[in-house]
Amino acid sequence: MKTINIAIDGPGGAGKSSISRTIASDLHFIHVDTGAMYRAIGLYAVRNHCLSPEQMTDCIDSIDVTLKFIGGTQRVMLCGEDVTDQIRTPEVTMAASKVSAIPAVRAHLLDLQKKIAAENHIIMDGRDIGTVVLPDADLKIYLTASAKERASRRYLELREKPDCPTYEEILRDIEQRDYDDMHREIAPLKQAEDAVLVDTSDMGFNEVVEHIKTLIREKLD
């Protein structure tokens, strides 16, 4: 069976995961959030105090990250534990950015990502999907928004929580993560040459979803 692979890349906070999840559900594709896989390893690193490249390289083979798809919904398993709801804290976010720059971590997850894509119609989102993981994807999209807009969206998501960081703290974290992701030596964040740029700074969620679904239909037709 020829599988259909859609790659969606872009910086943190651009809405890649929520948009990809919605589109995948509408089109009956599998959604693969590769960022969640790195977050799971980031969570392991935080729990076990092993954030250095040397420590992660030594222990990566013992870290079992798998994905379960239940009704098309992705659940993230870390060493048999469902950590889907534990990998979205600011601390884990920054840890994920650090571990994703480690070659041994990227190699550990790459085979799993490619295997999922070879066996399913998927929408896979991340930071190097169109450039590294799925260079032959049927359609590549680079989804972005201004740092200030992404910080505002993240603040609105978190503001009801008792430990919500300030808008300024969120903006600093986003800008730092953008810099780290774009300047890492291995698979830096960048727009693939054949990717379609979608800037969502002035677009609503449903507008973005419908726009990308149109791009997918046009490409597949």
Return the percentage of the chain with pLDDT > 70, whole number: 99
- pLDDT of 82 higher than 70: yes
Predicted local confidence at residue 1, as pLDDT:
62
b (16+ CB within 10 A) / e for 159-195: eeeeeebebeebbebbeebbebbeebeebebebbeeb
- Max CA separation in the chain (angstroms): 49
Q: How many domains does the chain have?
A: 1
Report pLDDT for 71. 75
Look up tokens 């894509």; give the residue. 117
HSE of 178, CA atoms in CB hemisphere, 13 A: 17
Average pLDDT in the 78-94 region? 92
> Over the chain, what HEC string results?
CCCCEEEEECCCCCCHHHHHHHHHHHHCCEEEEHHHHHHHHHHHHHHHCCCCHHHHHHHHHHCCEEEEEECCEEEEEECCEECCCCCCCHHHHHHHHHHCCCHHHHHHHHHHHHHHHHHCCEEEEECCHHHHHCCCCCEEEEEECCHHHHHHHHHHHHCCCCCCCCHHHHHHHHHHHHHHHHHCCCCCCCCCCCCEEEECCCCCHHHHHHHHHHHHHHHHC
Write the pLDDT tens digit of every residue in 28-57. 898 999 989 999 999 999 999 998 999 999
* pLDDT of the residue at 18: 92
Q: What pTM did the predictor assign?
A: 0.84
**Structure confidence at residue 186 as a pLDDT band (50, 70, 90):** confident
Mean pLDDT of 170-186: 92
- Cα distances from 173 to residues 154, 181, 207, in angstroms, run 11, 12, 27
Question: For the residues 1-10, what does the mean pLDDT come to?
Answer: 91
Domain hosting residue 21, numbered range: 5-220
Mean pLDDT of the chain: 92
pLDDT digits (tens, 9 = 90+) for 114-169: 999 998 899 999 999 999 999 999 999 999 999 999 999 999 988 888 888 999 99
